[in-house]
Amino acid sequence: MELGLIAIGAALAIGLSALATGWSQSKIGAAMAGALAEKPELAGNAIIMIAIPETMVVLGFVISFLITGLKPE
């Protein structure tokens, strides 16, 4: 595979998953901020909820890392 394609693949893997995580965290974060104003005792849940979409970017990072390890043909 060409080096350029490898780089594009790796960039897409991390980039798209980071965008998706950012978008979901912004939605969850805004909703949880509203919920916390009403019920501050939900702070613990808020942290967990906001952390949930991080799975995407973490896995995207791993995949991207693996792709960069591929040898160009």
Q: How far is the CB of 55 from another protein (least distance, A)?
A: 6
In 3D space, the residue among 20, 4, 9 whose CA is nearest the CA of residue 64 turns out to be 9
Total chain residues near another protein (CB under 8 A): 16
Query: What is the Cα–Cα distance from 40 to 24, expressed in whole angstroms?
Result: 22
> Which CB sits closer to another protein, 33 or 51?
51
Q: Is 45 in the site for another protein (CB under 8 A)?
A: yes
Q: How far is the CB of 39 from another protein (least distance, A)?
A: 13
Q: Which long-range contacts (CB under 8 A, 24 or more apart) does 37-42 make?
A: none
